[in-house]
């Protein structure tokens, strides 16, 4: 609607300018000019009002304006301004990328106008403005082409800028999602394990409160240690959010994890195969968290059990196995296995979990040494 309103205003302005310039004798076509009458004014009105459709129907508007201009000159009305609407339509066609249509309309206007001059009895007198028409036709096509290319370039720049901004927003949202997932995994793995140990020790303490106070003291000490461990894990996670260096959880902390599980009543066998070597931080942390979550699941779902935690170092990968002889299949729905699998897959590894062949439950994670980019 804005473009149509603008074109209507342009048409009205052109009508006023052409009429005023013609009556003021600002241009001259030769000694055979006749006075401007209602027919000439009608031709000027038609040519000018065609500009109201120069963007909605540029070729049709240009053909109407060109035809009105040629008839105007054939009837020897004064002035050359009546061709201005046709020139504007030629410029619009070229600016819109319709080069062929602009050239054909230019040829039509030039052929009609100069054809009239060719069949006239006298040559155009010196000083006639009609000789400038060809130059204006070429200028309109060239200027329209340049304008169209500039607009296309600006649109391409704007699109690239919008695409870059959209890409930045998508990347920021993706990073935020990854950070939320990481925080959820860290809090789940660390706090769930500590709380599970605390629950087991509280249950033991309640059972032995009257019969064996010494064992109650041991349970309370284990609860205290679990609380300290939970606080340490929570500080490490919050440290990442504050952009400080957190304490990295890795396989070097596995003996402490095993000791806590034993304090909670599990019988744990910890074995290492191969020659240990420094793992990438992502792999080291993922292996620790998977072992932590697997032990937590044993505490929560398998009852008193014997657990084997085995780490096998290979040149291309590290294999972690956590197996127990407790009751398999008693766990309710939860995020433990999903979280472990997400950790493994995130660094290009894999994780399988299911009933063990000798009874109980087994978790096996294969984590590559080289993390994909």
Q: Write phi, then psi, for 88 (nearest 5 degrees).
A: -65, -40
Q: Residue 18's pLDDT is what? A: 84
Predicted pLDDT at 331? 45
SS (H, E, C) 233-260: HHHHHHHHHCCCCCCCCCHHHHHHHHHH
Is there a contact between 321 and 308 (Cβ–Cβ < 8 Å)? yes
Q: What is the pLDDT of residues 32-91, one digit of tens each?
A: 678 888 888 898 889 888 888 888 888 888 888 888 888 888 887 887 788 888 888 888
pLDDT at 135: 77
What is the pLDDT, as a whole number, of residue 130? 60
Determine the pLDDT at residue 242: 55
In whole angstroms, what is the distance from residue 362 CA to residue 259 CA? 20
Residue 302 in contact with residue 327, Cβ under 8 Å?
Answer: yes
pLDDT (tens digit per residue) in 228-250: 676 676 666 666 555 544 455 68
- Write out residues in the chain with pLDDT < 70, as ranges: 1, 27-32, 117-132, 172, 176, 178-179, 182-194, 196-197, 199-201, 204-205, 208-210, 215-216, 219, 228, 230-231, 233-249, 302-305, 327-335, 358, 371-373
Kind of pairing between the strands at 361-368 and 350-355: antiparallel
Closest to 271 in 3D by CA, of 322, 199, 204: 322
**Strands, sheet with 267-273, edge to edge from the N-terminal-most edge strand:** 267-273, 306-313, 317-324, 361-368, 350-355
């Amino acid at each position: 609607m804005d473009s149509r309103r603008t074109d209507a205003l342009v048409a009205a302005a052109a009508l006023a300018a052409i009429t005023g310039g013609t009556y003021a004798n600002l241009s001259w076509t030769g000694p055979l000019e006749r006075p401007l009458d209602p027919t000439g004014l009608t031709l000027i009105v038609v040519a000018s009002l065609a500009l109201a459709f120069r963007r909605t129907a540029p070729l049709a508007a240009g053909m109407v304006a060109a035809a009105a201009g040629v008839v105007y000159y054939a009837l020897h009305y004064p002035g050359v301004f009546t061709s201005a609407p046709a020139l504007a339509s030629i410029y619009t066609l070229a600016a819109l990328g319709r080069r062929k249509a602009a050239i054909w309309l230019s040829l039509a206007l030039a052929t009609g106008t100069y054809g009239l001059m060719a069949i006239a009895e006298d040559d155009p007198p010196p000083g006639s403005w009609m000789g400038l028409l060809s130059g204006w036709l070429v200028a309109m096509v060239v200027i329209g082409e340049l304008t169209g290319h500039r607009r296309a370039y600006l649109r391409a720049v704007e699109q690239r800028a919008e695409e870059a901004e959209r890409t930045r927003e998508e990347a920021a949202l993706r990073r935020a999602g990854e950070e939320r997932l990481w925080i959820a995994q860290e809090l789940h793995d660390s706090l769930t394990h500590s709380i599970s140990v605390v629950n087991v020790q509280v249950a033991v303490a309640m059972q032995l409160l009257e019969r064996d106070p010494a064992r109650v003291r041991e349970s309370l000490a284990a609860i205290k240690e679990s609380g300290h461990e939970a606080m340490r894990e929570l500080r490490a996670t919050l440290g990442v959010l504050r952009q400080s260096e957190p304490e990295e959880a890795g396989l070097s902390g596995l003996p402490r994890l095993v000791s806590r599980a034993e304090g909670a009543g599990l019988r744990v066998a910890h074995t290492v195969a191969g020659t240990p070597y420094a793992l990438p931080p992502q792999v080291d942390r993922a292996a620790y968290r998977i072992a932590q979550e697997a032990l937590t699941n044993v505490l929560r779902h398998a009852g008193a059990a014997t657990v084997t935690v085995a780490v096998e170092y290979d040149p291309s990968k590290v294999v972690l196995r956590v197996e127990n002889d407790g009751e398999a299949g008693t766990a309710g729905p939860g995020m433990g296995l999903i979280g472990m699998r997400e950790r493994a897959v995130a660094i290009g590894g894999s994780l399988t979990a299911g009933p063990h062949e000798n009874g109980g439950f087994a978790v096996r994670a294969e984590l590559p040494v080289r993390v994909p980019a």
